[in-house]
């Protein structure tokens, strides 16, 4: 497996070893001891899968308190632009986002630790998106940031987004509370 550190501390792109032949391919989507060696020492407690059509934007979502989630994201079918926004106050990259194309073709995964808001846009006709979570979903601890907040200036790579009512009425980035603070993991 190949691991790529991004310019935002904590976010990792993971490229699993894929073994292909004339029948298709095989790869390990998750193996606890391998991910622990990468520093991902969380226990995953919930798997989420969503199916969405082209132009859909889901996010930017996060949970707070004891429900704060780390997410290991991948695409089962199709292609998305996956986005993680640093919401750790005092972080040198606070308010910056990282985006990566995840697809069933490249099989890349994005590890997003707690302290980030997460969203994705669908770039293919249809997508099945999967993510493992380190905490259970909690409606009372769920928060959202407006996907098209002009301060963030995220290019979602879609022209006419399809967005839920919840995401259309989310908070502006400048109005979020200090739910996460930065603690460097660098030596």
pLDDT value for 185: 64
Instruction: Specify the CATH number for the domain of residue 92.
Output: 2.60.120.10
**Catalytic member of 35, 62, 98, 131:** 131
Catalytic residue flag (residue 97)? no
* Number of independent structural domains in the chain: 1
Q: Tokens 């409606």 belong to which residue?
A: 139
Confirm whether 64 is domain-assigned: yes
What's 174's DSSP letter? G
What's 30's DSSP letter? -
Q: The whole model's pTM is what?
A: 0.94
pLDDT value for 183: 82
Confirm whether 23 is domain-assigned: no
Query: Which domain covers residue 108, as residue numbers?
Result: 2-18+32-175
Residue 156 pairs in a beta bridge with: none
Catalytic residue flag (residue 136)? no
Confirm whether 146 is domain-assigned: yes
**Catalytic member of 35, 61, 62, 98:** 61
Tokens of 94: 């606070």
Burial zone of 171 (CB within 10 Å; 0-12 exposed, 13-18 middle, 19+ buried): middle
Residue 72 pairs in a beta bridge with: 111, 132
**In which residue ranges of the chain is pLDDT below 70?**
184-187
């Amino acid at each position: 497996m190949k691991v790529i550190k991004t310019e935002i501390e904590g976010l990792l792109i993971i490229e699993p070893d894929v073994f292909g032949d004339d029948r298709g391919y095989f790869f390990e989507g998750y193996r606890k001891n391998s991910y622990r060696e990468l520093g991902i020492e969380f226990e995953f407690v919930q798997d989420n899968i969503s199916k969405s059509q082209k132009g859909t934007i889901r996010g930017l979502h996060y949970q707070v308190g004891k429900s704060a989630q780390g997410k290991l994201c991948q695409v089962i079918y199709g292609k998305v632009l996956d986005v993680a926004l640093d919401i750790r106050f005092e972080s040198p990259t606070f308010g910056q986002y990282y985006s990566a194309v995840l697809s069933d073709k490249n099989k890349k995964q994005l590890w997003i630790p707690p302290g980030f808001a997460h969203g994705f846009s669908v770039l293919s006709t249809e997508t099945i998106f999967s993510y493992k979570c380190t905490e259970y979903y909690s409606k009372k601890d769920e928060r959202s940031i407006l996907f098209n907040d002009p301060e963030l200036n995220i290019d979602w790579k879609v022209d006419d987004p399809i967005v839920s009512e919840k995401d259309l009425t989310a908070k502006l980035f400048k109005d979020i509370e200090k739910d996460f603070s930065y603690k460097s993991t660098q030596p």
